[in-house]
Structure 1
Amino acid sequence: MKKNVRVFLTITLLLVFGCRQSTKEEGKTRQVLEKSIYRDSAPKQKKAPAVKLKSLAGLRDTAFVRLADYSDQFVYDLRYATTNNFLKAQVYDCAECYTRVKTAKALIKANEAFLKKGYRIKFFDCYRPNSVQYKMWKIVPNPQYVANPKKGSIHNKGGAVDITLVTLEGKKVDMGTDFDFFGKKAYHDNLDLPQDILDHRKLLKETMEEYGFWSIRTEWWHYNLAAASNDKVVDFKWKCD
């Protein structure tokens, strides 16, 4: 009798243990299946397609191009497409940086030199249609601050840019004043400034000159491409989306 009871208890324990093991295994299997189903049904995140840059090769030097189509290494803060400028008025319909092809080539080469030193170019202004020059002149008709649109400026020829430097991460580099600060503190020959500011201005000026640009004494941010000096003033206008 005792032997039969022991056999019965043994069989019962085996059945209970087997059922528990089976339940655990089924649970694990269910979790694996659920994860698999969730993984298969979850929407896959698509990577943003890389923007394919265009080549300047074969283009006429005097043609106009959108700089961002040919390099993704620049930074932009195009002030005249906002009210954050000395005019306190928006004079561009939208923010775009266009230049002549020869200007774009020189800018890309200069920027490559800056990149090797831990900086990149940030633009405040690029090519400026002559009709915009008339808008600016109407607001501030003073040749000390705005070129007379009848004669125009190298900005209207696609050969001038207003720029500064930022770090590779986009951090501001101290140049002593903001863009369009009209005073002696913005002059290239003002040496009464902290050494780091003088060093930043020197780096900007010497590198730009190395790639065919020249500066003006009163504005540390303004650079003209020498090869564009004799180009015609134009009123080419880009399209806004």
Structure 2
Amino acid sequence: MTRYCLTAFLLFIAFGCRQETSKNASEGTQSVQKVDSARIKGTASKKFRTFEGLTDTTFVRLADFSDGFAFDMRYATENNFLKEKVYDCAECYTRVKTVKALLNANADFRKAGVKIKFYDCYRPNSVQYKMWEIVPNPQYVANPEKGSIHNKGGAVDITLVTLKGEELDMGTDFDFFGKRAYHHNTDLPQEILDNRKLLKETMEKHGFWSTRTEWWHYNLQGAHKDPVANFKWECE
């Protein structure tokens, strides 16, 4: 009888310990999940800004409002027709009204399995003068005396990439100065024509208009009325 009681007592202790260990492990897992969820939620809420309190003409950084775009800011590198880095760092700034239109356009693009990739956005007027010195041709570079719509925060140079980041074939590289980049040039493979059509029709649907000589350039309607700016953004 004594041996039976001792065995039963030891089994009771062992079973109780396993239950407590299992309970603690479960509580620990739940605690970690809650903390991780709160951390992610907090990060997301801090990352993206809203338009509350901002006027449509305020300059803002596009990346503060969405992570759904891709970027290859060419003028922050030497991979451009200037062969010179003219931006201290790669940022895409533009006016709030332009950002709103871009967000709506990109939502449509994403339904088609692609998204916008930026080459250039707002451009300080001082940079426009450098470009004009190299290419003083208004077909390709706006006269800095009047200012480009890039200088006004209403123009963007863009292409399309898949959601995995693969560029669609548009027939030429960005800043190709020649007839192959013209919108009316139909002497191109059908795939290129289809890609350009998707880009152009979607951007026009959301209030942008294209320029004849550059498949990548889009101006927001009415942006030509805004004043020329020459501020440079801060780099972190």
2: CA distance between counterparts of 1:182 and 1:140?
10
Equivalent of 2:150 in 148, 151, 155:
155
Q: Deviations over 1:171-209 (max 9, x none)?
A: 111001100011111010000111111000000000000
1:229 CA drift (Å): 1.7
Partner of 1:86 in structure 2?
81
For residue 113 of structure 2, what is the amino acid of its counterpart? G
Q: Percent identity?
A: 73
2: CA distance between counterparts of 1:222 and 1:140?
17
Partner of 1:220 in structure 2?
215
Kept in 1: contact 2:152–2:223 (CA 8 A): yes
2: CA distance between counterparts of 1:144 and 1:93?
27
Greater displacement, 60-69 / 131-140? 131-140
Equivalent of 2:121 in 126, 143, 161:
126
1:239 CA drift (Å): 0.5
Partner of 2:225 in structure 1?
230
Q: Deviations over 1:85-112 (max 9, x none)?
A: 1111111111100000000000000000
1:138 CA drift (Å): 3.3
2: CA distance between counterparts of 1:92 and 1:141?
20
**Ranges of 4+ aligned residues in structure 1 off by more than 6 Å:** none
Q: Deviations over 1:146-165 (max 9, x none)?
A: 22211111000000000000
Secondary structure (helix, strand or coil) at the match of 1:199 reads helix
Secondary structure (helix, strand or coil) at the match of 1:148 reads coil
1:217 CA drift (Å): 0.8
Structural RMSD (CA)? 1.7
Kept in 1: contact 2:118–2:159 (CA 8 A): yes
Secondary structure (helix, strand or coil) at the match of 1:202 reads helix
Structure 1 residue ranges without an equivalent (≥5): 1-45
1:143 CA drift (Å): 3.2
How many residues in Structure 1 have an aligned counterpart in Structure 2?
A: 197
Partner of 2:169 in structure 1?
174
1: CA distance between counterparts of 2:206 and 2:179?
26
Partner of 2:62 in structure 1?
67
Secondary structure (helix, strand or coil) at the match of 1:89 reads coil
Kept in 1: contact 2:184–2:212 (CA 8 A): yes
1:53 CA drift (Å): 0.6
2: CA distance between counterparts of 1:227 and 1:206?
18
Secondary structure (helix, strand or coil) at the match of 2:63 reads helix
Compute the TM-score of the two structures, normalised by the length of structure 1: 0.78
Matched, 1:205 2:200: yes
1:66 CA drift (Å): 0.0
Matched, 1:97 2:92: yes
Partner of 1:113 in structure 2?
108
Greater displacement, 146-155 / 103-112? 146-155
Kept in 2: contact 1:75–1:121 (CA 8 A): yes
Kept in 2: contact 1:87–1:140 (CA 8 A): no
For residue 184 of structure 1, what is the amino acid of its counterpart? K
Kept in 2: contact 1:91–1:136 (CA 8 A): no
2: CA distance between counterparts of 1:179 and 1:55?
31
Query: Greater Rg, structure 1 or structure 2?
Result: 1
Compute the TM-score of the two structures, normalised by the length of structure 2: 0.79
